[in-house]
């Protein structure tokens, strides 16, 4: 039988406490911008967007769709998992949580296209800017309500 000395046991416990503290500090330091950026980069590749524009986008996105964001704990966990490139772990979540995350991903991508100039840039290297909500840009659109006879 293997005997563990008191010193070894204390070292193991201390290592566990330290690693738990480091993991908690890493997870609690994530923000909404981290989750949105990592979600967008998962689908669109590396983004050339300044933090101010990303913050404005996230603020507007949250204001327009407050029910779409995952809970804080789920948000932090997803951000950590995606940062570590362990996206396959999502399959271990309950079906409802997976569907919530898929819906979040879809909404973020759709709103990103509507609230930024991502699709209008002339080059992929051009910086992405937050433009806010733009009304219809079709010059031939008739936005007048139909006249009732």
CA distances to 70, 86, 98, 146 from 90, rounded to whole Å, are: 13, 8, 7, 48
Q: Which residues form the domain of 107?
A: 28-120
Give the pLDDT of residue 123.
87
* Cβ atoms of 111 and 119 closer than 8 Å: no
Question: Is 145 a member of any domain?
Answer: no
Question: Is 18 a member of any domain?
Answer: no
Give me the number of domains the chain comprises.
1
Give the pLDDT of residue 56.
94
Question: Is 66 a member of any domain?
Answer: yes
Question: Is 13 a member of any domain?
Answer: no
Give the pLDDT of residue 75.
84
Give the pLDDT of residue 69.
85
Give the pLDDT of residue 20.
55
Question: Is 45 a member of any domain?
Answer: yes
Tell me the mean pLDDT per 10 residues along the chain, length 149.
Answer: 70 61 55 90 91 93 87 83 79 87 92 90 89 73 70
- pTM for the model stands at 0.68
Distance separating alpha carbons of residues 76 and 113, to the nearest angstrom: 24
Question: Is 6 a member of any domain?
Answer: no
Question: Is 15 a member of any domain?
Answer: no
* Cβ atoms of 81 and 60 closer than 8 Å: no
Question: Is 97 a member of any domain?
Answer: yes
């Amino acid at each position: 039988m293997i005997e563990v000395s008191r010193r070894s046991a204390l070292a193991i416990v201390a290592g566990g406490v330290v690693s738990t503290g480091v993991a908690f500090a890493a997870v609690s330091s994530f923000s909404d911008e981290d989750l949105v950026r990592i979600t967008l980069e998962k689908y669109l590749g590396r983004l050339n967007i300044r933090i101010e524009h990303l913050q404005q986008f996230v603020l507007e996105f949250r204001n327009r769709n407050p029910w779409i964001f995952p809970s804080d704990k789920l948000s932090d966990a997803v951000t950590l998992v995606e940062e570590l490139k362990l996206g396959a772990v999502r399959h271990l979540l309950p079906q409802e949580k997976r569907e919530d995350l898929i819906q979040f991903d879809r909404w973020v991508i759709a709103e990103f296209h509507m609230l930024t100039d991502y699709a209008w840039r002339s080059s992929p290297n051009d910086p992405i800017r937050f433009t806010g909500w733009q009304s219809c840009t079709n010059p031939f659109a008739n936005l007048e309500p139909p006249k009732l006879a």
